[in-house]
Structure 1
């Protein structure tokens, strides 16, 4: 994660440390990648890092996924692919 985005994320999250080794939280997929950075202090939203391949990354505030399936989904609204409770143990999340 680029240092300028780390600084910007720290300001938005009001935290001292942001992990620079962000991994995509979506199951294996094509398209944009999304790594959760943390709660942005607003109810029902979170700060995410979005990138595609080796292209530039950007910070985005996204609403939480409203879906429930016995437990809440830990992703954002309108995400691609499966909800977090639908991943099988033998399937690793996308780490590109």
Structure 2
């Protein structure tokens, strides 16, 4: 949490941040804010319903799609629901 608060790239949180998890009922929501600069971690915004949001640094999800050229999941380790490569193919890649 301290690392997230010290992250200089996030001066304010845009209200347009959307949950990156596949469609789900209840539970927490997570919006990707950016790369932390540390290998294998990213800065996320976490919130529940309309409650206050918090910045968290989370490790990247290590799971990749099956096959030799399997696309990596763009979410965080231990996320609920589906991996990003399991969603519809028209989804934008996590690098955009």
TM-score greater than 0.5 by the shorter chain: yes
Structure with more relative contact order (C-alpha pairs < 8 Å, separation 6 or more) = 1
Runs (4+) of structure 1 moved beyond 3 Å? 8-11, 16-19
1:1-96 → structure 2 map (5 Å cutoff): 11-12=6-7, 14-15=8-9, 20=14, 21-30=16-25, 31-69=27-65, 70-89=70-89
The equivalent residue for 1:94 is: none
CA RMSD of aligned residues (A): 2.4
TM-score by length of 1: 0.75
TM-score by length of 2: 0.75
Runs (5+) with no aligned partner, structure 1 = 1-7, 92-96
Runs (5+) with no aligned partner, structure 2 = 92-96
